[in-house]
Structure 1
Amino acid sequence: MIFSEVSGVAFTANPITGLRNEVVIDSTYGLGEALVSGLVTPDHYEILIDRNENVEIRLKKIGEKSIRIIGKSDGGTETLETIDNDKKVEALSDEYIIELAKLAKQVE
Structure 2
Amino acid sequence: MTAFRFAWADRAVQSVILTGAGEKAFCTGGDVKQRAETGDYGPSPSGTFEIWNLHKVIRDIPELVIAAVNGLAIGGGHVLHVLCDLPIASSTARFGQSGPTVGSY
TM-score bracket, normalised by the shorter chain, equals: under 0.3
Superposition TM-score, scaled by structure 1 size: 0.23
Superposition TM-score, scaled by structure 2 size: 0.23
Q: Quick check: which one's strand share is greater?
A: 1
Q: Quick check: which one's helix share is greater?
A: 2
